[in-house]
Structure 1
């Protein structure tokens, strides 16, 4: 399928009602439904869902066949979608998805994180940070890191300070590569829990400026253990989300298993944020276009059409 072929794009004169009628008439025609919905912005998709309910008295997502449940992600507000992702990351497949939770805490705007916490509580009648405290991820250090990040949202409205960044960078150095022995885990967790994501990003920039190499380089050069691995994921997410997501997508597509859930989570959450940058990083690092790898590794069908459409929705590269 050519990317976005025959996709619907709402104009000022075209009503949401007409799109809903087209969708209603296309129920059962899975390919056409995918074409229609991926051609809309996510805000438009949410409006279509509301309008469909007004016209037909039914929730559109309930009309989707099981094979089209991935379209549900387009219908939710971003913070509601992330609340669902967080819940699935904690309780899905009998294993905690550490990376997915790190993405939510580090790659979202501060105001968005607070809305996620509210949406999570409203939907599941539980506090996300308390649920994190009760989990048992594959590695204990992952739990400690997630608890630190969940606490850091309280500092999201704090001003970013160059002085604090330099001081924290020096503390990280002095309690890490600047001394013999293992990294001081308590210092790292303390800094992560008390600083906003913006402040942490400035700290890692200062670290590289002062010491001539990135903090992740130090972690990678060490005899990496579970703690260093957990920290490295967080730092990569904070410092360069597009690069992190490019690597994550490649891992999903070319890894030992095709992780459909991770593919949908990344593609939907980033397509209207920084997909152009992710696509550029992907091509620069791996020498191939993201859409080509999707086509190469994903079986032909509606799911592949969905992913390709999201990967090619805009282009600046």
Structure 2
């Protein structure tokens, strides 16, 4: 039976039957990929739980150990905070340098309630506190400073958004950056990042554009500044225009296809597939003239990994 026949909807075919089909196909990774990418992530998590009850084994463990060829499927079956905890652990414990951008994506692109659950999941998995692990890495590094500030913002901020605060903060950013010569005043930026919620910071960036006629990120990009300003531009882009950030990152990864690029592709495609993939795909097509799914098929060698990425890209309405 083909993968399409295996899965129509969970209401048409019982969860137990889907679990049995998966169990009978463990030696066929292509079937696992086709079946699980046909489901929503909520359905994938339901399948994982059903499989545990029936076969006393964990599909996440199977995919990451028994079937390492399809280890990327594990992200579909983890709840989002648990998945981000794994991404954070991988970002800090990679074979290369710390993957700061992966951590920035988590702290700028998730709700505070999600971040709190992610921190709990990280503590459970690693027996350590993520904040302490971040604090221990290169204390003078610009990304480390911003991550500490963003982490603080998720723990103590006013949930209400204020236009007055946005105007004041926009003027402060201008006066301590574009409005004066030299480097940006780091203390002002870090104070804003640590004391404001992500929605409040986004409103500040929108207000900056309205008051001064161009975006804060455009200012940061137009001048040759230091490492702190380069890192700030990434953070500001993630907050102000996340779909643009992800479209640009996906394009870069698809051009490179190194081991690091492959990890970035998995992280972004899994975490954004059911959030804003349609917006990412629209910007990708507008900026690069091709559908995201088509570029994946052109850039990634044939196999389960390509099928996986193409299926997630197809969740966008424009693909």
Which TM-score band (shorter chain)? over 0.9
- Equivalent residue number for residue 238 of structure 1: 239
Quote the Cα distance in structure 2 between the aligned partners of 1:314 and 1:220. Answer: 30
Partner Cα separation in structure 1 for residue 28 and residue 228 of structure 2: 48
Partner residue of 1:302 out of 301, 304, 308: 304
TM-score with structure 2 setting the length: 0.94
Shift in Å at residue 143 of structure 1? 1.1
* Structure-1 separation of matches of 2:232 and 2:206: 16
Preserved CA contact (<8 Å) 1:80 1:119: yes
Stretch moving more, 142-151 or 231-240: 142-151
CA distance in 1, matches of 2:41, 2:312: 11
The answer for the alignment partner of 1:121 in structure 2 is: 123
Instruction: Name the counterpart of 2:165.
Output: 164
Equivalent residue number for residue 312 of structure 1 = 314
1:42: which partner in 2?
A: 41
Give CA deviations for 1:137-182 in whole Å, capped at 9, x if unaligned: 8x71111111111111124552110000000000010111111222
TM-score in terms of structure 1 length: 0.95
**Quick check: 2:153–2:193 contact (8 Å CA) kept in 1?**
yes
Preserved contact between residue 160 and residue 198 of structure 1 (Cα < 8 Å): yes
Name the CA distance, whole Å, in 1 between partners of 2:230 and 2:133: 22
Range with greater deviation from structure 2 (10-19 or 245-254): 10-19
Gaps of 5+ in 1: none
User: Of residues 86, 89, 102 in structure 2, which corresponds to 1:87?
Assistant: 89
Range 183-192 or range 250-259, more displaced: 250-259
Aligned length: 313
Q: 1:151, 1:7 → 2: CA distance?
A: 46
Matches within 5 A, 1:278-297: 278-297=280-299
Contact 2:281 2:316 in 1 (8 A): no
Question: Take 1:110 and 1:263, find their aligned partners in 2: how far apart are those partners?
Answer: 24
**Structure-2 separation of matches of 1:225 and 1:88:** 27
Asked if structure 2 preserves the Cα contact closer than 8 Å seen for 1:49 and 1:60, the reply is yes
User: Is it true that 1:53 corresponds to 2:55 in the alignment?
Assistant: no
1 or 2 for the larger relative contact order (CA 8 Å, sep ≥6)? 1
Contact residue 79 and residue 112 of structure 1 kept, 8 A: yes
State the 1:68 CA deviation: 0.8
5 Å matches for 1:150-299?
A: 150-255=151-256, 257=258, 259-299=261-301
**For residues 256 and 74 of structure 1, do their structure 2 counterparts lie closer, same or farther at Cα, with a shift above 3 Å needed?**
closer
User: Within 2, Cα distance between the matches of 1:143 and 1:23?
Assistant: 42
Corresponding position of 2:28: 29
Q: CA deviation at 1:231?
A: 0.2
Maintained 8 Å contact 2:208/2:216: yes
Q: Unaligned stretches of 5+ in structure 2?
A: none
Cα RMSD for the two superposed structures: 1.6
- Separation in structure 1 between the aligned mates of residue 285 and residue 5 of structure 2, nearest angstrom: 27
1:76-115 alignment runs, 5 A limit: 76-115=78-117
2:131–2:148 Cα contact (<8 Å) kept: yes
Distance 1:142 1:265 in 2: 19
**Given the superposition, is the C-alpha separation of residues 136 and 270 from structure 1 closer, same or farther in structure 2, using an over 3 Å criterion?**
same
Quickly say closer, same or farther: Cα 1:31–1:157, change in 2 above 3 A. farther
